[in-house]
A and B are shown apart, each in its own frame.
Chain A
Amino acid sequence: MQDQLISLIAEELSVDKATITLDSDIQKDLGADSLDAIQLIMSIENAFGITVPESEIDHLKRVGDLLQYIKDHQ
């Protein structure tokens, strides 16, 4: 699951997979702006079959946050 998530992030944000760690901050480290970050979450919803409520998105800053959220909600 972690590999799938990282591949998806690399593709959506056009960044090298090798630069992505669980500690990477989507916006500060991976160069996404706030709308890229939302777009990424929407792609994750489709890929993993989950729904992220609008009230949750402010808490999903790092790759590890996303992974944990997917694990908890899939």
Chain B
Amino acid sequence: MGLHKGHFRIISSGHYTPEHILSNRDLEKIVDTSDAWITSRTGIRERRIANGENTSDLALHAAQKALDKAAYDKSKIDLIIAATFTPELRSPGVAARVQAKLGLDKPGLLAFDVNAACTGFIFALNIAERLLKGGSYRSALVIGAEVISKVTDYRDRNTCVLFGDGAGALILEKDSKKEVFFNVSSRSDEDLILYVDQYINMNGPRVYQFASRVIESSIRELLQFGHFDMTGVHKIIPHQANMRIIESAAKALGVPLESFFVNIQKYGNTSAASIPIALDEMLEEETPLSGEKVLLVGFGAGLSYGACALTF
């Protein structure tokens, strides 16, 4: 069920964001908003927008960076999972496009997408862990990649300021010595408070309430399940949706805001890509001690949520 203990080793990570920056000042020229309003309400100062690149291009760049960083032999990969709700094609998925672009054609390799909105990357990690443990797979490439600008209505000032494009990737290997704990779940959203048709539609206050509550509860449940506390936790990496959600969660958990790794000011909300981008940026800046845990926590449409404790 939702609470689950598994094992894998993190081999490498990478992220990629498009070059083009859309700042709050740029948005002031498009919709009735202001830099001060966006910054105080969301913590976002700028976001990256893909220009001529699509989702699997971003995913490929992130994957390639993860491969290069560890000088990893890509032919070892036998599982590719991409978390996205913005694939460029209905089929094949982003994972299959990345497989093709990497030139991987090993018999038995499995590549598929997971659509669980902003929780997608946590769901993908959970599925990867189970396939590494129970299946014959040994090496997984898990990606979160989004080009949300394709489904953003730049006439809607309530949503267009929030989202950006990007991708992050992790390479994992089967390893029975490195514990990983999951708390993943889907809760039904009868009122459809967050959904995407042509564009993103959101009941902001209700999503805010759900998110603030679920960060706290999912982490508390995970700590209790895993019999560890915050003293062994290097950082919490939350889905980067809104700075105020993160502040509210820190207060509710009784931990300093500095316990959270935050890069929302640079990228906005990149949905399934936000956690792997933030994880890679954190690992570029700081190295957790051996045995320390890093908590990931995501929440989004569905309503879905997931927390995960990685062991370094």
Q: Give chain B's interface secondary structure class.
A: helix
Chain B residues positioned under 8 Å from A42 (CB to CB): 209, 212-213, 248, 252
How far is it, in angstroms, between the C-alpha of A12 and the C-alpha of B233 when the chains are bound? Answer: 30
B interface bracket (residues with beta carbon within 8 Å of A)? 10 to 19
List chain B residues, Cβ under 8 A from A54. Answer: 193, 206, 209-210
Q: Cβ of A44 < 8 Å from any Cβ of B?
A: no
Q: Which residues of the other chain, A, contact B258 by a CB distance below 8 angstroms?
A: none
Chain A at the B interface: SS class = helix
Find the A residue at minimum CB distance from B193. A54
Query: Is A8 close to B, CB under 8 A?
Result: no
| Contact for B41 among A35, A38, A57, CB less than 8 A | A35
Contact status of A35 and B205, CB under 8 A, knowing A42-B213, A42-B248: yes
CB B246 to nearest CB in A, in angstroms, measures: 12
Contact partner, B204, options A35, A39, A41, Cβ 8 Å:
A35
Beta-carbon contact of A34 and B213 below 8 Å: no
* Chain A residues proximal to chain B, CB less than 8 Å: 33-35, 37-39, 41-42, 54-55, 57-58
Task: Specify which chain B residues have a CB less than 8 angstroms from the CB of A33 in the assembled complex.
Answer: 41
Q: Assuming the A-B contacts A54-B193, A55-B191, are A34 and B204 also in contact, with contact meaning beta carbons closer than 8 angstroms in the complex?
A: yes
Residues of A within 8 A of B41 (CB): 33, 35
Q: Is B112 part of the contact surface with A, judged by Cβ < 8 Å?
A: no
Find out whether the CB atom of A41 lies under 8 angstroms from the CB atom of B209: yes
Q: Which residues of A contact B248 (CB under 8 A)?
A: 39, 42
The answer to the question of B244 belonging to the interface, with a C-beta cut-off of 8 Å to chain A, is yes
Q: Quick check: is B208 within 8 A (CB to CB) of the other chain?
A: yes
